[in-house]
Every structure is written in structure tokens, then in C-alpha cells.
């Protein structure tokens, strides 16, 4: 193993000293040891690397490095290849870290210009005093640390550390109020004084205002706009749900028409209710696994949209141009549009487009996603004659920020929205008491993605996802060769490497991590199951990994045998593993920038454990003890395989997976706009009714099955007949849920009751 040593205990002041002569009795060795000791005396923490390999390890593993001291004659290599490799490895990860070359004055004139540009100076170990050298390094570290902090977080940390007396809200006054109570003291000790001192009030003028975009907060938003490629960016501290509502109320006046992706978050429904907009829906396809796909490009043409508007009961006869179009990019399952193509298709029909990129804030920072996100390229090169483009992003979802951290990014087009007008909508939804820790985490997320860091972090996440995908694919192939079963991964069966067509599991990992073509949804490919696509129109984000369980064929029909994914999800939960989403025969895992090999290795082990216990029909009292304890009469005598077979059989008997597919494949008949349905809800009209009595009625609230979390009915749409697709699905899933307690489906707008499912109708 490569050798590294660390001295000193001061966290965050680490200096990497790369010198293979440190332990020699020579003059350079003695000088290097003297430097090590003097750095420690100046409260710096030397991290020692005696080899190139050790230097690489330290650069990759230690985010606390504050400077690099590199022996230009490392390993006495006359070509200096070893030293240049270390320098290149550092600069690939960090363009700003101070670098000093340990060299002789005779060698300095021969250092190549490109190396000189990457270094901040030379250290003459045999000539300069250690005090002089350490002072230079300490000053470089100080400048680096100051430059490292983004605007708002830097100002917040400085203010909180000054320990001024607080005479403003919040009432805990920097945490001191918690110390006056036993319960409060526990809270204080758990979260720590720094977090509580940083919980400040809008009264602190030195930090600026989130509502006026002034001071360090305004600087942080402008910095975010630079990093994320926007003309203007706005921080939102209560999630992309609020960010979407801000864009809606800033863009749509009362009663105007909008084009709304039917695969939309509930915040879009809220926007419709707030503005009284008239929606015309853009309907995406579903595939055999129940995943919502992209809106077909043919549905976005001028002619298709004109027909859509003219044929909808809510928009027919409305001559006004749609005020806004909403497109979900990427989808929950990781399907990403070619945003440039979507803009091209929609531009003749609408002047403002909102890309809901809640799950896609990382896209700009990796070339794998080129052209598939809203804020592409240089904002100065935007087309002023094109639509105004919004992107809302949940900074907390797949980047590093606290929950509720979100941003709105904006590029102006032919119908601009001035900052003062947009800000009125922002203030309508934003709190006047925002959480400063959330704002600071958003600012830090910008800093993490700036420069080389963004591509490095996203590339590492993609590489981990690719490694996991290929591991599972190889395991499945190995079991299939023996006539056995294992889990699959929703991804292409084959990829191309030049003229070669290679099984996904055998493809070079670097090809998968860098080639967009490997993830494209090619028209007609049966692995993805979506019709009506163009070449290059949509790709799968590799970091959103969907595992598949046996049982659902690519033709959308149940196979002879299968294992429902909710059973696997319960098993994983007993092993401390919580997926993002569980559907009938698929489970979604997110490979964010925080995922490590150890984390996904544990998941692979759990999958193999499930297979072992399933094949052995391990008693549920051992395999799923929590489920058995909650429902002993239902499951106490069963084994894992017996339960899986019973659940799969019930899926076939009730037919609820196919019935859900049928219900999503056609738009329900609307009777009123969502705003009118909401008004009637607030007035107390309508009432709860069982499934039979819902027939012919109008939904007072959205009916949203989870997963996929997409409206089956929007408020104001009709339930249809009792044998129609919506009520047939609800009756089937109600029957399944009664048979398998603990596996009940979550359907927003539907209330389980003793007599059966009920919903609010007009």
C-alpha cells in the first residue's frame, strides 16, 4: 500500500508535502524534515506522501488540503514525469489550490511554462529560512481559504463567529434560549452552537436580503447565475414546489392558457389553481414498467398544439396564445429531453417555457448531458428571438444542499420578464423569515460545482452508477446462464463502441461514463418501450438506476412467474436500505454525488441475500420480522417465496398493473378548470363517496397514485363510469390492498375506509 503520514491535529489546515527524500540523511532530506516541523509549529498539518501513488491517494481522499508542496525532482526523475502527474491530478480536481515546487535555483529556469502557470512559486529548501518558507505558505493558505468561501456563506460564517449579542428574532438568540431548559439543552447539544448561531433574522442587514437580492445574499445569487449558466438566479428556501409556483404566478395572468406536461409535480396543479389558468395537457407515453416517458415530439409541433387547444373543452374558443409551457426534465425515472429540440418545437406556440429540473441540477456540469438541460452554453449567446426559459432546480435533491434548498434560473427571450415584476411573485411565496443555513448550503452548492469541481463530482457519481449497473448486469447474466433468476437493470441491452455492438455488461466503463450515445433512447428499441421518438430526442440519466424484478414482460403482460418489487422493498428496508421509489416491478435508486462503493456494495449484498432467502422460502418471521410483528395473522405462517407468489398471483387476478396503464393512457374528460374545482372545495361543496357513487362525478381534488406520483385525475375532471378505466383501477387496487396488509398503495385524494375506498366528488 502507498505510504502516507499525517502530523498535527488541526482539521482543515492540511498541507500535502510530496517528497520521497524526507527520511534520507541527505541535505534535502534534513531540509524537508525541518520544513515539516516548522509547518506544524505554524498550526498547519503536513500530510506526507513519499511516492507518486501516495500523493494521488491524498489528493483524491483529502478535501481539507490547503496547499501542495511538490518536490520537482520527485523520484530523481530527470523528465519530471512523476511530479507532473501529481500536479495534473491536483489541477483536475482543484484549479485554485496553492502549489509550491521544491526545487534548486539551477532547476527553476528549466521548468516548462505550462508547469509555471500551474504553480504559485518555488521553495528553495537549501537556501531560504524555514520561517520565511512557512510564512509564505501560511499566507497562501489564508488567501486560498478566503477565496474558497462563496459570498453568502463567507459573510454568514464571519458574522456568526463574531459572537455579537442578538436583540432580534429568532427568539432563541443564537441558541442561548435552548440552554435554559433540559429539553432545549439536548436540542442545542445535538445540533451544535454554530448552526444555531447561524440561524439569523432578516434584520441582519450585513447579510443582505433574500427578497431584495442585496448584499452577500444578492452576490450569492449572482454567483449561482454564473455557475449555473443563467442570466438571473433566485434562491428559494421552501423547495421547488414553491419555485414552480413562483414562475407560474410570475408568468400567467388570471384565466390565461398554459401547456402543461401531464407528467408534472403537484406544484403545477397548485399553479393552475392559483392563477385560474386553463390547461391544455401534453400527454407522455408509459412503458411496460409503468414509467412515464417523454412527450412525443409530434405532440409539440405548432399543428399538434393548435389541435390540442381547439379540441379541449377547457381551451376551445380561446384565441389567446398560451402564456407558458411546462416540461418535466428530467422525469422521476431519469429521462432527459434534448432541451434544444423541445425549445425549437415549442417556440412557434409559446413565448415562455418552464423546465422543471428538480431532479437535474447536475446536468450542466458534465458533457454527458450536452444539450439536454435548460441553461445550456453561455447565457450571452442566447437567442433573443427565442422563448424566455426558466429552470427550477431542487439543489438539495442530487447536489449537496440542505432540504428545501432550490433555485430558479432564468434566461430572457422575446417576451422578457423584468426583475421587478418577477420579484413581486417571488415575494408572494417566499418567507420573510428564511432559514439562513438553507441559503448558505445553496451558496456552497454553487461553489462545489464551480470550475473543475462540478465535472469531477458528477463524473465520479456517473462512474459509481456505471460500476453498479455493470455489476448487477454481470450477476444477472451469470444466473441466467444457469437457468436461474436475478434482478435486472433498466438500461440498454447493447451499446456501440465504434462499429462494435457490445453487451452493456462488457462495455468499457469509460465509454459508458462519457458517451451520450450509450444512454440514448433510440427509436424502436424495445428495452425502453416508448413509441414516437426521434433520434437524439431523449436520454437516460445514468445516475438514476432502476432495478427490475422478474415478472413483467416487455410486451406489458405479466409473465408466468414474478416477484413484486414492493416485497423486495420491504426486505431492503429490514436491511436499512431505503430506495427512492418502488413500483410494481421496479425500484429506483439515486446515485448522487454522495454515493460510494461501500454504499452500493451493501446494496448488491442485500440483493444477493434476498435471492438466497427467497429461493429458500425463508420464514417471514426471520426474513421480514417487522412485517410479521405488525400483521401476524396474515403472514406468520408464510415463507418469503410463498408471499411473493401469492402477491404475484393477486396482481394477475386483480389486473391492477394493466388497469393503471389503461387509466393513464387517455386524458379524462374535464368539467371545470382546476381553480374552479378548488374554489368549490373551499366553499365546502361536494362530499366523500365510495367507488360506486363516484361514477359520473367530478374529482374535487387530484387523484394521484404513488408511484409514479403523476395525476390520474386533475381537480375538475370526471371519474367516468364504474367500468371506466379510473374506477376499474381503483377497485382493483382496493381489492389487492385488503388482501395484503402492510403493502397498501398510497393514492393521494383517495381515503381508505372500513367500507372501502372513498374520494371527494362534486
DSSP secondary structure letters along 712-736 = SB-TTBB---TTSHHHHHHHHHHHH
Please tell me the predicted confidence (pLDDT) of residue 120.
84
Confidence of residue 12 (pLDDT cuts 50, 70, 90): low
Domain region containing 713: 655-761
Alpha-carbon distances, residue 193 vs 143, 155, 176, 190, 269 (angstroms): 27, 17, 9, 9, 40
Residue 712: give its domain's CATH number. Answer: 3.90.100.10
Best mean pLDDT range from 165-169, 578-582, 585-589, 710-714: 585-589
Co-location of 662 and 640 in the same domain:
no
Check pLDDT > 80 for residue 319.
no
Give the pLDDT mean for 6-26: 73
Residue 611: give its domain's CATH number. Answer: 3.90.1150.10
Co-location of 466 and 593 in the same domain:
yes
Check pLDDT > 70 for residue 165.
no
What angle do the packed helices 81-93 and 452-481 form, to 10 degrees?
90
468 within a domain of the structure (yes/no): yes
Co-location of 622 and 696 in the same domain:
no
Alpha helices in 482-596 (DSSP H): 509-514, 565-574
Cis peptide before 170 (omega within 30 of 0): yes
Confidence of residue 158 (pLDDT cuts 50, 70, 90): confident
3-state secondary structure string across 226-274: HHHCCCEEEEECCHHHHHHHHHHHHHCCCCCEEEEECCCCHHHHHHHHH
Confidence of residue 164 (pLDDT cuts 50, 70, 90): low
Considering the chain, what is the average pLDDT of its residues?
A: 91
Please tell me the predicted confidence (pLDDT) of residue 9.
40
CA distance linking residue 325 with residue 327, whole number of Å: 7
Check pLDDT > 50 for residue 7.
no
Co-location of 368 and 257 in the same domain:
yes
Domain total in the chain: 5
CB count within 10 Å of CB 382 equals 18
Please tell me the predicted confidence (pLDDT) of residue 1.
37
Co-location of 445 and 504 in the same domain:
no
Residue 124: give its domain's CATH number. Answer: 3.40.50.2300
Co-location of 278 and 328 in the same domain:
yes
What's the predicted TM-score (pTM) here? 0.90
Q: Per-residue pLDDT tens for 254-285? A: 999 999 999 999 999 999 999 999 999 999 98
700 within a domain of the structure (yes/no): yes
* Closest listed residue to residue 261, CA positions, set 171, 333, 325: 325
CA distance linking residue 579 with residue 589, whole number of Å: 5
Confidence of residue 163 (pLDDT cuts 50, 70, 90): low
Q: Per-residue pLDDT tens for 370-401? A: 999 999 999 988 889 999 999 999 999 999 99
624 near 571, Cβ under 8 Å?
yes
CA distance linking residue 749 with residue 717, whole number of Å: 13
- Within 13 Å, how many C-alpha atoms sit on residue 11's CB side? 0
Confidence of residue 2 (pLDDT cuts 50, 70, 90): very low
- Within 13 Å, how many C-alpha atoms sit on residue 588's CB side? 22
Please tell me the predicted confidence (pLDDT) of residue 125.
75
- How is 291-358 classified by DSSP, letter by letter? -B-PPPGGGGSHHHHHHHHHHSTTTTT--SPPSEEEEESS-TT-EEE-HHHHHHHHTTT-SEEEEE-T
Co-location of 214 and 96 in the same domain:
no
11 within a domain of the structure (yes/no): yes
Please tell me the predicted confidence (pLDDT) of residue 5.
45
Check pLDDT > 50 for residue 11.
no
With b for 16 or more beta-carbon neighbours within 10 A and e for fewer, the 80-93 pattern comes to bebbbebbebbbeb
562 within a domain of the structure (yes/no): yes
Give the pLDDT mean for 499-507: 95
- Indicate the residue among 418, 450, 482 that finishes a domain: 450
Check pLDDT > 90 for residue 598.
no
Co-location of 379 and 509 in the same domain:
no
Check pLDDT > 90 for residue 699.
yes
Per cent of the chain over pLDDT 70 is: 97
742 within a domain of the structure (yes/no): yes
Best mean pLDDT range from 159-173, 327-341, 747-761: 327-341
749 within a domain of the structure (yes/no): yes
Co-location of 715 and 638 in the same domain:
no
Residue 252: give its domain's CATH number. Answer: 3.40.640.10
Confidence of residue 114 (pLDDT cuts 50, 70, 90): confident
List 99's β-bridge partners, or say none.
68
Per cent of the chain over pLDDT 90 is: 71
Lowest mean pLDDT of 89-93, 305-309, 567-571, 601-605, name the range.
89-93
Please tell me the predicted confidence (pLDDT) of residue 3.
41
- How is 427-461 classified by DSSP, letter by letter? HHHS-SS--HHHHHHHHHHHHHHTTHHHHHHHHHH
The SS3 assignment for 753 reads coil
Please tell me the predicted confidence (pLDDT) of residue 26.
85
Q: How many helices and strands in the chain, by DSSP H and E?
A: 28, 26
- Indicate the residue among 403, 419, 450 that finishes a domain: 450
Co-location of 381 and 486 in the same domain:
no
Check pLDDT > 90 for residue 22.
no
Co-location of 223 and 362 in the same domain:
yes
Q: Per-residue pLDDT tens for 32-48? A: 888 888 888 888 889 99
Please tell me the predicted confidence (pLDDT) of residue 693.
95
- Would you state the cell numbers that stand for residue 306, as one nine-digit string? 393548435
Rg value, the chain, Cα = 29
Check pLDDT > 90 for residue 112.
no
Q: Per-residue pLDDT tens for 640-694? A: 999 999 999 999 999 999 999 999 988 999 999 999 999 999 999 999 999 999 9
Q: Per-residue pLDDT tens for 436-453? A: 999 999 999 999 999 888
- Within 13 Å, how many C-alpha atoms sit on residue 120's CB side? 21
93 within a domain of the structure (yes/no): yes
Lowest mean pLDDT of 35-39, 336-340, 437-441, 457-461, name the range.
35-39
Give the pLDDT mean for 709-725: 94
State the sign of the Cα–Cα–Cα–Cα dihedral 224, 229, 232, 234.
negative
701 within a domain of the structure (yes/no): yes
Co-location of 462 and 437 in the same domain:
no
Confidence of residue 108 (pLDDT cuts 50, 70, 90): low
Which of 64 and 419 is assigned the larger pLDDT?
419
Alpha carbon 101 to its chain's center:
39
- Indicate the residue among 646, 668, 688 that finishes a domain: 646
CA distance linking residue 142 with residue 192, whole number of Å: 26
Amino acid at each position: 500500500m502507498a505510504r502516507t503520514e499525517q502530523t498535527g491535529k488541526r482539521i482543515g489546515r492540511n498541507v500535502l508535502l510530496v517528497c520521497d527524500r524526507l527520511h534520507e540523511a541527505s541535505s534535502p532530506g534534513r531540509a524537508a524534515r525541518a520544513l515539516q516541523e516548522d509547518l506544524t509549529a505554524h498550526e498547519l498539518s503536513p500530510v506526507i506522501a513519499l511516492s507518486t501513488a501516495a500523493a494521488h491517494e491524498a489528493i483524491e481522499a483529502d478535501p481539507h488540503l490547503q496547499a501542495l508542496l511538490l518536490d520537482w525532482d520527485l523520484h530523481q526523475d530527470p523528465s519530471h514525469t512523476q511530479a507532473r502527474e501529481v500536479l495534473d491530478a491536483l489541477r483536475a480536481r482543484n484549479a485554485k489550490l496553492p502549489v509550491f515546487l521544491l526545487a534548486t535555483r539551477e532547476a527553476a529556469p528549466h521548468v516548462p511554462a505550462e508547469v509555471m502557470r500551474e504553480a504559485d512559486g518555488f521553495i528553495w529548501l537549501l537556501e531560504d529560512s524555514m520561517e520565511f518558507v512557512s510564512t509564505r505558505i501560511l499566507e497562501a493558505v489564508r488567501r486560498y481559504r478566503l477565496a474558497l468561501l462563496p459570498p453568502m456563506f463567507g459573510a454568514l460564517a464571519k458574522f456568526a463567529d463574531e459572537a455579537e449579542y442578538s436583540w432580534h428574532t429568532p427568539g432563541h438568540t443564537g441558541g442561548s434560549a435552548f440552554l435554559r431548559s433540559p429539553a432545549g439543552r439536548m436540542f442545542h447539544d445535538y445540533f451544535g452552537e454554530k448552526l444555531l448561531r447561524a440561524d439569523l433574522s432578516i434584520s441582519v442587514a450585513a447579510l443582505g436580503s433574500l427578497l431584495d437580492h442585496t448584499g452577500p445574499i444578492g452576490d450569492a445569487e449572482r454567483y449561482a447565475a454564473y455557475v449555473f449558466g443563467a442570466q438571473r438566479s433566485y434562491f428559494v428556501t421552501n423547495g421547488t414546489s414553491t419555485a414552480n409556483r413562483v414562475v407560474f404566478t410570475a408568468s400567467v395572468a388570471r384565466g390565461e392558457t398554459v401547456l402543461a406536461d401531464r407528467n408534472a409535480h403537484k406544484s403545477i396543479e397548485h399553479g393552475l389553481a392559483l392563477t385560474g389558468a386553463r390547461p391544455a395537457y401534453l400527454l407522455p407515453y408509459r412503458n411496460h414498467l409503468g414509467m412515464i416517458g417523454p412527450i412525443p415530439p409530434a405532440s409539440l409541433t405548432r399543428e399538434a398544439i393548435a389541435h390540442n387547444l381547439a379540441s379541449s373543452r377547457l381551451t376551445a374558443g380561446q384565441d389567446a396564445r398560451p402564456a407558458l409551457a411546462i416540461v418535466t426534465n428530467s422525469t422521476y425515472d431519469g429521462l432527459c429531453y434534448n432541451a434544444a429540440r423541445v425549445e425549437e418545437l415549442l417556440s412557434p406556440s409559446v413565448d415562455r417555457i418552464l423546465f422543471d429540473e428538480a431532479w437535474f441540477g447536475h446536468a450542466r456540469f458534465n458533457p454527458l448531458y450536452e444539450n439536454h438541460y435548460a441553461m445550456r452554453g453561455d447565457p450571452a449567446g442566447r437567442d433573443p428571438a427565442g422563448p424566455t426559459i426558466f429552470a427550477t432546480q431542487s439543489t438539495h435533491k442530487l447536489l449537496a444542499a440542505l432540504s428545501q434548498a432550490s433555485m430558479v434560473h432564468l434566461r430572457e427571450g422575446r417576451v422578457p420578464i423584468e426583475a421587478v415584476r418577477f420579484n413581486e411573485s417571488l415575494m408572494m411565496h417566499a418567507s420573510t423569515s428564511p432559514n439562513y443555513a438553507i441559503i448558505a448550503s445553496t451558496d456552497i452548492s454553487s461553489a462545489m460545482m464551480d470550475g473543475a469541481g462540478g465535472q469531477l463530482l458528477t463524473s465520479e457519481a456517473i462512474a459509481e452508477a456505471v460500476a453498479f449497473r455493470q455489476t448487477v448486469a454481470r450477476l444477472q447474466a451469470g444466473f441466467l446462464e444457469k437457468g436461474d433468476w436475478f434482478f435486472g437493470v433498466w438500461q440498454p441491452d447493447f451499446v456501440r463502441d465504434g462499429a462494435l455492438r457490445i453487451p452493456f455488461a462488457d462495455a468499457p466503463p469509460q465509454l459508458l461514463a462519457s458517451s451520450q450515445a450509450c444512454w440514448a433512447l433510440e427509436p424502436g428499441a424495445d428495452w425502453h418501450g416508448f413509441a414516437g421518438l426521434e433520434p437524439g430526442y431523449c436520454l437516460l440519466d445514468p445516475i438514476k438506476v432502476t432495478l427490475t424484478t422478474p415478472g413483467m414482460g416487455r410486451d406489458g403482460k405479466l409473465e408466468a412467474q414474478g416477484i413484486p418489487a414492493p416485497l423486495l422493498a420491504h426486505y431492503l428496508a429490514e436491511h436499512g436500505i431505503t430506495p427512492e421509489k418502488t413500483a410494481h416491478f421496479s425500484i429506483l435508486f439515486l446515485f448522487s454525488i454522495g454515493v460510494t462503493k461501500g454504499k452500493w456494495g451493501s446494496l448488491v449484498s442485500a440483493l444477493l441475500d434476498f435471492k438466497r432467502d427467497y429461493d429458500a422460502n425463508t420464514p417471514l418471521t426471520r426474513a421480514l420480522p417487522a412485517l410479521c410483528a405488525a400483521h401476524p395473522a396474515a403472514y406468520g405462517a408464510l415463507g418469503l417465496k410463498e408471499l411473493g407468489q401469492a402477491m404475484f398471483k393477486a396482481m394477475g387476478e386483480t389486473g391492477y398493473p394493466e388497469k393503471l396503464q389503461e387509466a393513464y393512457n387517455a386524458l379524462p374528460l374535464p368539467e371545470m378548470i382546476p381553480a374552479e374545482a378548488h374554489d368549490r372545495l373551499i366553499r365546502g361543496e361536494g362530499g366523500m363517496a365510495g367507488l360506486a357513487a363516484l361514477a359520473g362525478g367530478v374529482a374535487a381534488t387530484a387523484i394521484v397514485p404513488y408511484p409514479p406520483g403523476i395525476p390520474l385525475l386533475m381537480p375538475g375532471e370526471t371519474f367516468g363510469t364504474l367500468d371506466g378505466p379510473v374506477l376499474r383501477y381503483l377497485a382493483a387496487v382496493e381489492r389487492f390492498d385488503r388482501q395484503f396488509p402492510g403493502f397498501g398503495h398510497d393514492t393521494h385524494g383517495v381515503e381508505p375506509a372500513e367500507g372501502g375506498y372513498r374520494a371527494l366528488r362534486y
